[in-house]
Amino acid sequence: MKHNLKKILPKLILFLIVTIVVIIVILSLNDISEIGSTLKNVDIRWLLVAFLFLFLYMAFYPLPLYFLGKSKEEKNVSFLDTGMIGTMEYFFNGITPFSSGGQPFQIYSYSKVGVSFHRASGIILMNFVICQISVLILCLGSLFYFNELTQGTLHLQIMIGVGLGMNLLITSLFCSVGLSKHVRNLLSKFVGWILNWKIFKGKLARFEVSFQEYCAGAQSTFKALLSQKLKFVGCIFLKLIGLLAYYMIPFFILRALRIEVELKQLLLITAMSTFAIAMTCYIPTPGATGGIEFAFQSLFVTAIPAISPSIATSGLLLWRFITYYFLMLVSFIVYIIFEQVVARRNRKEKKLEAVEENPLQNSEE
């Protein structure tokens, strides 16, 4: 575990530096005294509702992993282990560029509880695709029902178009990796071509083999899971519930800030939250820091003109604390617990193996 923490430390330092710089920039562009007075007058009741919806998100979002991991032929992961592996994603996504660290670490965590690399790759790939499909469903539904999203300023329309296009592209790419042998072979050749460059040649041969194994294992598991249509649809439904709970949080934060948004605006604000996150999740900073703050503020000032920039910033800071920093803290604590549970389990298994190998010696002792 100490070794893992040493590897995490540089990413954590980068995350802290980026976070501090962004917060300083945000505060310097707004009235700090107005932000302070707004945050002092927060309605605790609505804030507790915001936390309740965060916990609903945390409960529903990892559930598809449990059902995707159930198999009659291979070892099933316990509900508790699956919940911890699913929760750890938030921390590792939050400290890595492009939010890319969660999935590799989840595959590694699955291996620690006895799941093969091939099968774990397929489960994580399928879970990612289900998440992307769910986000696309919410984005397209939002565009269909709310004209406010398409009638905003030019830069807002560009942001929405780019965000939707990026999610469509990523979803198509990962579906192709999971289903198409041609795409798999093309990617393998591309990786092999890069690794033959002088700078890499002979140094990353293991990576090329691991990548090919990842693609092969991911495809076999992906296709097996996709053939179970009821499970596939059920997982999308669970993911939608989790995402909706997450995207509704800004509404309750606005109410906590004593902004008179009506209940009928809940769905519009949920739709705007969907796009604020969807169009910035691939920004190359830890947790999309910087881009997501700008997108959130732009969308909400456009949709609710009565909100001043300083009040919008207060809501942004509160939302970011609940859905990002608090969530990362919980995720990190779960990671520590997971490492301790696995280490204790391994020690127990070694003791049992020792007893089985030397039953006479242990009985004499």
Q: What is the pLDDT of residue 181?
A: 74
Kindly state the average pLDDT of the residues 105-116. 87
pLDDT at 57 over 90: yes
Model confidence at 276, pLDDT cuts 50, 70, 90, reads: confident
- 17-35 tens-digit pLDDT: 767 776 676 666 666 777 7
Kindly state the average pLDDT of the residues 120-144. 86
Q: What is the pLDDT of residue 69?
A: 83
pLDDT at 37 over 90: no
Q: Is 74 left (phi over 0), alpha (psi -120 to 50) or beta?
A: beta
| Contact residues for 177 (Cβ-Cβ < 8 A; gap 6+) | 125, 183, 184, 187, 215, 218, 219
Model confidence at 111, pLDDT cuts 50, 70, 90, reads: confident
Question: Comparing 184 with 283, which gets the higher pLDDT?
Answer: 184
User: By the 8 A CB rule, do 83 and 67 touch?
Assistant: no
The residue among 318, 293, 274, 237 whose CA lies nearest residue 141 is 274
- 217-244 tens-digit pLDDT: 667 777 777 778 888 899 999 999 999 9
What dihedral do alpha carbons 242, 244, 246, 252 form, nearest 10°?
Answer: -140
Model confidence at 170, pLDDT cuts 50, 70, 90, reads: confident
When the pLDDT of each residue in the chain is averaged and rounded to a whole number, the result is 78
Q: What is the pLDDT of residue 100?
A: 63
Q: How far apart are CA 43 and CA 349, in angstroms?
A: 51
DSSP state of 75: P
> Where along the chain do its domains lie?
2-355
Q: How far apart are CA 40 and CA 49, in angstroms?
A: 18
Q: What is the pLDDT of residue 50?
A: 94
The residue among 302, 276, 343, 307 whose CA lies nearest residue 112 is 343
- Retrieve residue 1's tokens: 């575990």
Q: What is the pLDDT of residue 310?
A: 73
Question: Comparing 11 with 95, which gets the higher pLDDT?
Answer: 95
